[in-house]
Structure 1
Amino acid sequence: MQIVPHSDRFASAGQITPDDVARIAAAGYRSIICTRPDGESGADQPTSQDLRTAALKHGLQFAYLPVKPGQITASDAERFAQLLDDLPDPILAYCRSGNRATTLYQLAASPAAAQAPSAPAVLPACDWDGAGFDIVVIGGGFAGIAVTASLLRRQPYLNIAIVEPADHHDYQPAWTLVGGGVYDAKKTRRPMASVIPEGVKWIRAAATRVEPHNNLVRLDSGETVTYRDLIVTPGLRLAWERIPGLEETLGKHGVTSNYCYDLAPYTWQLVEQMKAGTALFTQPVMPIKCAGAPQKAMYLACDYWRRTGVLSKVNVEFNLAGAVLFGVAVFVPPLMKYVERYNAKLAFSSNLVAIDGPSRTATFETKDANGKVARVEKRFDMIHVVPPQVPPDFIRDSELADEGGWCEVDHATLQHPRFSNVFSLGDVCSAPNAKTGAAARKQAVIVAENLLAARGGKPLAYRYDGYGACPLTVERGKVVLAEFGYGGKLLPTFPLNPTRPSRFMWFLKASVLPRFYWSGVLKGREWLTRAGRD
């Protein structure tokens, strides 16, 4: 159980158990709100009645306000606000991951945001009438919102729907900074309603199947959505379950990951508390989103331990499933200087395959120079895990998928090679670029221009060069900004030595880019996109 405080009177958490209630009471909480419907995930989920009984036993108030994923209404927010007024505080609200509880709190705290004139038309799956759209966008993450905003800048009259079940939108690039103790997690999350572009229909449901021959998307509610053009941007899936023992130990026993909103603060807690022992960091088989993030977690942790004088007492090891530290060779020497500075051990061809949290033991599958595979157990006091990452099931099993399960696209135009009215961008598309937010920012312009050209019967003139960027935070206050395209070609934005750690790039990463994200990219502002034409 990882508790995330949002104010002095409210916190959220993922699923709790009756055994957790004693700890919640000991932490000073006086009330619990359950926002997860009973039976949502089967018999392993404790019932609200079981938790009510445990809460009353420890002198806590308990309230049950069940909300389905992606279907929070204004009425739900009002009822939640009333509970915040009625129940004794501090209050802890929980659901499966903590997301619904957090969103309800945000909406209850700012009800005007959900009712503002510019708010999107929200169409829950249960209210869906089956009407078609000019364009359907699957996914309300960075790529989906950015490309929608770019389309509307060019043709404001387009009838667009975004299919997205989540109630919130996250600025994920800052989670590494949260794990390094230099950024507030709450600043990385906003209600989804606040980022959906004005005039766009938001369908609060999950896509479960795409039928490109019928121009149709099936939803988890049983309804369908039809389109003239489709943009596929659901991102990728974090496959925590592929590492046995990981899911049940995340957020405790020293096991953490900056790839999860709820866990990034726990990373910092572990780093701050570490005075001696073994710290393991992992990187799975590629592709993953932000390939530099696994080592950024290590650098920021080591820098803190160096500054506080305990680094010499911490055994740091970075286990990589691959054979190189970074995929673009020119950036390896400056990164190796920091690996040596922090006296970190690199274990190449070492892939995490199992973890036992209570015994603090991680099992790695290793491969030697002769290809011999072995399993090695390593003890840890803390471990930062990056999970395997795979295409969403409904894309992998569809006609849109390539051999690897990703949404197949022409690497230059980002148009599907077999279905001309389908485009894709972001982490799910098959283009062999680094899966970063910077790549999606560039791709959004390419897709907007080319899709509109295709609608008008014109040639697709815009070409994606594979641009991606990875701000490698090698220490607090310095960043190596790796910008590159297809084939590792360097594509620097600024006239500076890209391999040199820079304070300016730190300022860009920590201060400028978050503001640019919320107020620029998501609003359709396309500064420095360098969209190329034939």
Structure 2
Amino acid sequence: MVASPPPGNETIAGRHRVVVIGGGSAGISVSARLRRAGVTDITLVEPSDSHWYQPLWTLVGGGQATLRSTRRAEASVIPDGVRWIRRHALGVDPEARTVQLSGGDELAYEHLVMAPGLQLDWGAVPGLAEAVGHDRVSSNYAPEYAPRTWELIKGMRSGTAIFTHPATPLKCGGAPQKIAYLAADYWRRHKVLDRIRIILVIPDTALFKVPEWNHTLERVADGYGIEVRLRSEMTAVDGERREVVLTDHANGTRETVPYDLLHAVPPQSAPDWVKASPLADPASPLGFVAADKHTLQHPRYPEVFALGDVANLPTSKTGAAVRKQAPVVAGNLLDVMNGRTPTRRYDGYTSCPLVTARDRMLLAEFDYDLKPSPTFPLIDTFKARRDMWVFKRYVLPPVYWHGMLTGRL
């Protein structure tokens, strides 16, 4: 692996052939594929020294995985031959083809891959930023809080537990309800479920947007006695009083509900600097990057591609979606670099591993048209299965580290 230079001393002079912003699953996967195709002069902009396998954070919060097992050093996943600049991107000028970096420097590019992920807007819900991590409030959406979720679940024997889902697009759209099922399963196993009121707050008109899996999840929630609030949202938190305001968007009513455990998922959006850039999609109020939904090429700047959570695509933001998007971006970028029209197409494939109990999981896979797209056509993935849980817990992590991030899968 290429050793990381100390921050602030990286080589940024000259115009770089490919600049990739973001060293998460999307940025690393595309960089690896480009290197395998023989592309040189790839520069990766990523400020963090940690790389997280975020799909396991739900199981961390459910007591089935350690936080340590989800982290590796960023330097260990950067492909050989890729230059790593450990700074924050602060802006993009697509006309000049430059990226503004923390420290005041500019990075010039010929081609740009946008993969900085999204940001967690804790401050968008009054009181949430102050309460999370305290006052019996946790969230599996940040590594510093996921272990606390498990401590709160283990320590609860009666009272009210509330699990929320924001009304914005978010990474891993099933995660807000998966932890509710894991908690309910734990409480049932410990014979306290009948003493706990569970409220699951969902902003949509159904638990899941694909009917085939929605029907199954309705039965799961009903089996645990979960009170599902559809078309509803958490709109305020009072950590000191341990109360949350739930707004029903169907009729506009607001209800203040006391809680003994709150698993809160914050609203999410594109990073602020992306929102302010010309690359942001005017049709996206949350500032996600414009991209053709099939080629993933920017509609106004053909040398720019976007993938992962930051791309404004009509599909769920998941690691499985990135796995399908990365070869499309790499292949189409190679076409553009060689003066050809992009030929690769992304069909919107995404998947959501829906854990419904400590040892059961549904694997929901679908495309832009919400048509089921099973990877294992001979397996009934509309039924919660133990083998699918084993697949998520023990098969997918090594596939991610050794296959997806290396550009092999």
Return the TM-score normalized by structure 1.
Answer: 0.75
Aligned equivalents of 1:134 and 1:120: distance in 2?
A: 20
User: Which letter does structure 1 place at the counterpart of 2:31?
Assistant: T
The DSSP-based 3-state class of the residue aligned with 1:520 is: helix
User: Which letter does structure 1 place at the counterpart of 2:34?
Assistant: L
What are the superposed Cα offsets for residues 200-250 of structure 1, whole Å, 9 maximum, x if unpaired? 111011111100011100012110101110000000110001111111221
Which region of structure 1 is more displaced relative to structure 2, 389-398 or 176-185?
Answer: 389-398
1:152 corresponds to 2:152 = no
Show the counterpart of 1:292: 174
Show the counterpart of 2:246: 364
What are the superposed Cα offsets for residues 382-401 of structure 1, whole Å, 9 maximum, x if unpaired? 01001000111111111111
Offset at residue 479 of structure 1 (A): 0.6
Show the counterpart of 2:51: 169
Structure 1 segment 292-331 matched on structure 2, within 5 A: 292-331=174-213
Offset at residue 271 of structure 1 (A): 0.5
Show the counterpart of 1:119: 2
Aligned residue among 500, 520, 523 for 2:403: 520
Offset at residue 130 of structure 1 (A): 2.5
Offset at residue 483 of structure 1 (A): 0.3
User: Which letter does structure 1 place at the counterpart of 2:398?
Assistant: R
Structure 1 segment 31-180 matched on structure 2, within 5 A: 118-122=1-5, 124-155=7-38, 157-180=39-62
Offset at residue 123 of structure 1 (A): 5.8
The DSSP-based 3-state class of the residue aligned with 1:296 is: helix
Aligned residue among 128, 135, 142 for 1:253: 135
Q: Is the 8 A contact 1:256 1:384 kept in 2?
A: yes
Aligned equivalents of 1:472 and 1:127: distance in 2?
A: 42
Aligned residue among 487, 497, 502 for 2:385: 502
Aligned residue among 202, 215, 224 for 2:106: 224
Offset at residue 133 of structure 1 (A): 1.2
Show the counterpart of 2:74: 192
Structure 1 segment 295-444 matched on structure 2, within 5 A: 295-368=177-250, 372-403=251-282, 404=284, 405-444=287-326
What are the superposed Cα offsets for residues 58-108 of structure 1, whole Å, 9 maximum, x if unpaired? xxxxxxxxxxxxxxxxxxxxxxxxxxxxxxxxxxxxxxxxxxxxxxxxxxx
Aligned equivalents of 1:460 and 1:218: distance in 2?
A: 28
% identity of equivalent residues: 44
Q: Is the 8 A contact 1:469 1:481 kept in 2?
A: yes
Show the counterpart of 2:363: 481
What are the superposed Cα offsets for residues 143-186 of structure 1, whole Å, 9 maximum, x if unpaired? 0101111111112x411011011111100000000001000111
Q: Is the 8 A contact 2:185 2:358 kept in 1?
A: yes
The DSSP-based 3-state class of the residue aligned with 1:124 is: coil
Show the counterpart of 1:29: none
Offset at residue 119 of structure 1 (A): 3.2
Identify unmatched segments of 5+ residues in structure 1.
Answer: 1-117, 527-534
Q: Is the 8 A contact 2:2 2:82 kept in 1?
A: no
The DSSP-based 3-state class of the residue aligned with 2:186 is: helix
Aligned residue among 265, 278, 287 for 2:147: 265
Aligned equivalents of 1:510 and 1:154: distance in 2?
A: 31
The DSSP-based 3-state class of the residue aligned with 1:247 is: helix
The DSSP-based 3-state class of the residue aligned with 1:423 is: strand
Q: Is the 8 A contact 2:88 2:102 kept in 1?
A: yes
Aligned equivalents of 1:366 and 1:390: distance in 2?
A: 22
Aligned residue pairs total 405
Q: Is the 8 A contact 1:281 1:317 kept in 2?
A: yes
Q: Is the 8 A contact 1:436 1:470 kept in 2?
A: yes
Q: Which has the higher contact order (CA 8 A, sep 6+)?
A: 2
What are the superposed Cα offsets for residues 32-78 of structure 1, whole Å, 9 maximum, x if unpaired? xxxxxxxxxxxxxxxxxxxxxxxxxxxxxxxxxxxxxxxxxxxxxxx
Q: Is the 8 A contact 2:161 2:261 kept in 1?
A: yes
1:471 corresponds to 2:353 = yes
The DSSP-based 3-state class of the residue aligned with 1:241 is: helix
Q: 1:129 to 1:525 in 2, by over 3 A?
A: closer
Q: Is the 8 A contact 1:279 1:383 kept in 2?
A: yes
Aligned equivalents of 2:12 and 2:303: distance in 1?
A: 23
Q: Is the 8 A contact 1:215 1:227 kept in 2?
A: yes
Q: 1:120 to 1:200 in 2, by over 3 A?
A: farther
The DSSP-based 3-state class of the residue aligned with 1:488 is: coil
Report the aligned-residue RMSD: 1.1
Offset at residue 122 of structure 1 (A): 2.9
User: Which letter does structure 2 place at the counterpart of 1:241?
Assistant: G
Which region of structure 1 is more displaced relative to structure 2, 284-293 or 224-233?
Answer: 284-293
User: Which letter does structure 2 place at the counterpart of 1:508?
Assistant: F
User: Which letter does structure 2 place at the counterpart of 1:195?
Assistant: V
User: Which letter does structure 2 place at the counterpart of 1:375?
Assistant: R
User: Which letter does structure 1 place at the counterpart of 2:232?
Assistant: S
Identify unmatched segments of 5+ residues in structure 2.
Answer: none
Offset at residue 374 of structure 1 (A): 2.4
User: Which letter does structure 2 place at the counterpart of 1:153?
Assistant: R
Aligned equivalents of 2:51 and 2:198: distance in 1?
A: 33
Aligned equivalents of 1:507 and 1:250: distance in 2?
A: 31
- Structure with higher Rg: it is 1
Return the TM-score normalized by structure 2.
Answer: 0.97
Aligned equivalents of 1:364 and 1:125: distance in 2?
A: 46
The DSSP-based 3-state class of the residue aligned with 1:122 is: coil
Q: Is the 8 A contact 2:40 2:81 kept in 1?
A: no
Aligned equivalents of 1:209 and 1:250: distance in 2?
A: 29
Aligned equivalents of 2:36 and 2:83: distance in 1?
A: 16
Show the counterpart of 1:103: none
Aligned equivalents of 1:123 and 1:456: distance in 2?
A: 34
Offset at residue 131 of structure 1 (A): 2.7
Structure 1 segment 198-209 matched on structure 2, within 5 A: 198-209=80-91
